Structure 1
């Protein structure tokens, strides 16, 4: 299982992603004590300012691992029961009937059957895998909208169910993680963001990770270019955005170095207890937002290469930004990568994303970074 850190191959693979159409990519790859940090392309297409590996980035649903870890801390302290119905904690948000059937675990692993609220909050966006009637108008309409979590949760809870509680495959839904944020507030008496910061971010010693306090990313960062399947041409910068539309589900700002530190500590049993980590790694089949069925645990999912062992982590997207953070189960090999373009694929006549050179280039970078 020897995977040498080949700096030349990593640099070339990063450049290939840039040449394929992504303005900028930056990443950190670790193999034992060896570290490669690299970047290719630009942080700003207007000025040509280059991306660097230390930039802050909106990491999207990578936030879910942090939220799940904070919930597991409360499970360890006895304030939350993994298999306790959510209705016992939040009876007004998930009314009796459904609230009695949906457990905390089902929220964490997306088997609650609760629908995604996003198409209801952003009416011009249609769900994958078919996007025939989609449009990007809602992205601009809500650039500075301040959502309250309860109103988004209500959209998801009152929408038609996408499955029965505990049924598999589950269906990935941000509604689940907004409810987990509300649960953290209920049991800790602080905001979800404060709870996650104290019990996870500070515990892991992450100095460059935190939740936004406004629509701006205050530290040096790349602009985030959204193409919305070719309908925004040229792609538009959405780095200034009110992230209350996802809150503790996907609003975290971090760096690739901090993400590798976090996942390395998590898999070493240093963020949550080893027994809690074992719970996080119990997977069920879940249909992703892209329409693929993946194995999903409690805020974690695995990736496996032939003969290379299992990696654990999470991916994330926001408007204009994408992130993937993966750490091998033994902790030795790690990847955290960020890109500043999203939804580069055009759509075919049926509204399905078409293959794009970026897809192959990014997959090749992941391959080199994770498996050598």
Structure 2
């Protein structure tokens, strides 16, 4: 039986954010809602050099939360009859995905990460080859690629050339950004406009989001935090990567948004106002998917994850990371309880002698915040 916890007192929420900051997070900001009750808060600094404080209204690189937007744009094309979920991707993109793979991998398999197509990340960032095993890695590629502009087809080719992560349609999926770059190319093929313009026109604007956009250059427009990457202790002290060419992951993790906009988006999505109810039901058909970090299995649908809070309440949403920035957005199935938070330090866990990342005080502080906010 699902239980509904009361909305936490503002001082408890602020204390939970302060605990995350004291545990080692430079800055964190969040919006937590329950129906008409809304709390926004922040703790820590946006810039370690100047001490500029973080603010809950700041824009932020939201990483793979972008995948929910891209998935919704694809479902809109399904609703309009231009795309079929169970059609092979080779029907639409025969030059990008030729041969048996093009005939076996469907649009649905790209959306739910059961395509078996590997992630291109270790090939676009060769100093990270072997991740999630940390031995022998370096941060060199992060700096080498800061101002590099990738073409989607270039990255897709890297993922297709890598050994597959599994058979198409297998019982356990493997998370892969290559899938979502292919979906971006699909959107461009069937609409005749860029994927970014399609997502903006069909998802961002109809949802009424004012502060959500794909970046036009290497910088985040508007007030934002610096974004510090530690790369499991390989970058010491952590380095700011807020200025970055995001072509390496655009329709997979390129969006910039705010915590308020993300909460609004997921309310609209779960209310059937971004895609129709039939499409939403497709998005909520989940199965197990191995996360990129290798340590978790996600309950993943079509661009949506399903989680269950200790009280039994089901939440839908997504989390995301890019270099230096992390975001988590969760909304209860009834749309009432929501939590979206953003942090400006990533991969803070340092490895032991075997190369395995070790627990950090930030982990426990974030877990306590999630439990308080989600009930």
TM-score by length of 2: 0.98
- Contact preservation (8 Å) 1:24, 1:51: yes
What does residue 323 of structure 1 align with? Answer: 327
RMSD, aligned α-carbons: 0.8
What pairs up with 1:60-71 in 2 under 5 angstroms? 60-71=63-74
What pairs up with 1:116-195 in 2 under 5 angstroms? 116-195=119-198
Q: Which runs of 4+ in 1 moved over 2 A?
A: 126-129
- Contact preservation (8 Å) 1:59, 1:316: yes
Per-residue CA deviations over 1:339-362 (Å, capped at 9, x if unaligned) read: 000010101122111111011111
Please state if 1:351 is matched with 2:355: yes
For residue 127 of structure 1, report the CA deviation from its aligned partner. Answer: 4.4
CA distance in 2: counterparts of 1:165 and 1:157, whole angstroms? 13
Please state if 1:313 is matched with 2:317: yes
What does residue 230 of structure 1 align with? Answer: 233
Residue ranges of structure 1 left out of the alignment (5+ in a row):
none
- Contact preservation (8 Å) 2:34, 2:336: yes
For residue 128 of structure 1, report the CA deviation from its aligned partner. Answer: 4.0
CA distance in 1: counterparts of 2:369 and 2:310, whole angstroms? 16
Summarize the Cα distance change of 1:236–1:66 in structure 2 as closer, same or farther, 3 Å threshold: same
CA distance in 2: counterparts of 1:293 and 1:4, whole angstroms? 29
What does residue 84 of structure 1 align with? Answer: 87
What does residue 367 of structure 2 align with? Answer: 363
What pairs up with 1:207-226 in 2 under 5 angstroms? 207-226=210-229
Per-residue CA deviations over 1:252-309 (Å, capped at 9, x if unaligned) read: 0000000000001100111000110000000011000121112100000011013341
- Contact preservation (8 Å) 2:123, 2:129: no
What does residue 341 of structure 1 align with? Answer: 345
Please state if 1:268 is matched with 2:274: no
Summarize the Cα distance change of 1:155–1:71 in structure 2 as closer, same or farther, 3 Å threshold: same
CA distance in 1: counterparts of 2:80 and 2:262, whole angstroms? 25
For residue 5 of structure 1, report the CA deviation from its aligned partner. Answer: 3.0
What does residue 57 of structure 1 align with? Answer: 60
What pairs up with 1:5-44 in 2 under 5 angstroms? 5-44=8-47
Which of 240, 250, 256 is the matching residue for 2:259?
256
What does residue 107 of structure 1 align with? Answer: 110
What does residue 303 of structure 1 align with? Answer: 307
- Contact preservation (8 Å) 2:24, 2:362: yes
Which of 246, 249, 260 is the matching residue for 1:246?
249
CA distance in 2: counterparts of 1:54 and 1:22, whole angstroms? 18
SS at match of 1:97: helix
CA distance in 1: counterparts of 2:111 and 2:130, whole angstroms? 21
For residue 131 of structure 1, report the CA deviation from its aligned partner. Answer: 1.3
SS at match of 1:134: coil
- Contact preservation (8 Å) 1:204, 1:265: yes
CA distance in 1: counterparts of 2:145 and 2:232, whole angstroms? 19
CA distance in 2: counterparts of 1:73 and 1:198, whole angstroms? 11
CA distance in 1: counterparts of 2:125 and 2:5, whole angstroms? 46
- Contact preservation (8 Å) 2:321, 2:327: yes
CA distance in 1: counterparts of 2:8 and 2:278, whole angstroms? 32
Residue ranges of structure 2 left out of the alignment (5+ in a row):
none
CA distance in 1: counterparts of 2:17 and 2:293, whole angstroms? 24
Per-residue CA deviations over 1:230-255 (Å, capped at 9, x if unaligned) read: 11111100000000000111000000
SS at match of 1:197: helix
What does residue 205 of structure 1 align with? Answer: 208
CA distance in 2: counterparts of 1:127 and 1:35, whole angstroms? 43
SS at match of 2:236: coil
